[in-house]
Structure 1
């Protein structure tokens, strides 16, 4: 059992790193990596799970989805764009496999419909306050 927890903890750290990179790089989505990290930490280490839940990375990318089952427009667009690019690459390489292309097209369509209609959209909260006007 300890080996399983160590593997999950190491995987959580790796996924957190990939999620941090995804938060900065436009085409790499942070969301799935951070969801995976949260799952791994929840099952491996209370200390890491608490740290992760209090990190800015979690609060900026996952908190709204976990608490409200909702995402900002920016998060939805980033995920849908990344998904479309990944599916397009697979679609391109399946040129000789029409059944594979049809399956990929249905999977892509399902994901797009899910993000548009299955997940609520919330407004992004402003991080910085408006500057004070002097009279």
Structure 2
């Protein structure tokens, strides 16, 4: 992978980590989706950043369970689902193409199915 792509991934990873860290303290901003994006970007961008990220308290608190056991708390699931629904609502409202709207509705249904039946729910600690 070329250097520009790696730098791009690192920058997006840092921004996502920052938003996720802020979201840990501000209830309206979701934490887990941003941390998942940060993790993805650090894996693609830099082994050094990936190792650093996985040693942070915020990673251990919000993502380690999911990465290790494919499980999340109900709070994490709801946070991700509501954030994704908000993002999907914009094109659903703005676009007039019925096929795109049907696709987005199927996507929302699948997303809820996956989170409720494929990802184990654990108790908050």
- Into which bin does the TM-score normalised by the smaller protein fall? 0.7 to 0.9
Question: Which residue pairs with 1:128 in the alignment?
Answer: none
- How many residues are treated as equivalent by the alignment? 124
* Structure with the larger helix share: 2
Q: TM-score, normalised by structure 2?
A: 0.84
Q: TM-score, normalised by structure 1?
A: 0.78
Q: Partner of 2:41: helix, strand, or coil?
A: helix
Q: CA RMSD in A?
A: 1.9
Superposition misfits of 4+ residues, deviation over 4 angstroms: none
| Structure of greater Rg | 1
Question: Which residue pairs with 2:77 in the alignment?
Answer: 76
Superposition map of 1:1-135 within 5 A: 1-94=2-95, 96-125=96-125
The CA distance in 2 between the partners of 1:5 and 1:90, in whole Å, is 30
Residue 80 of structure 1: how far off its partner (Å): 1.5
* Unaligned ranges ≥5, structure 2: none
The CA distance in 2 between the partners of 1:25 and 1:93, in whole Å, is 28
Q: Partner of 2:30: helix, strand, or coil?
A: coil
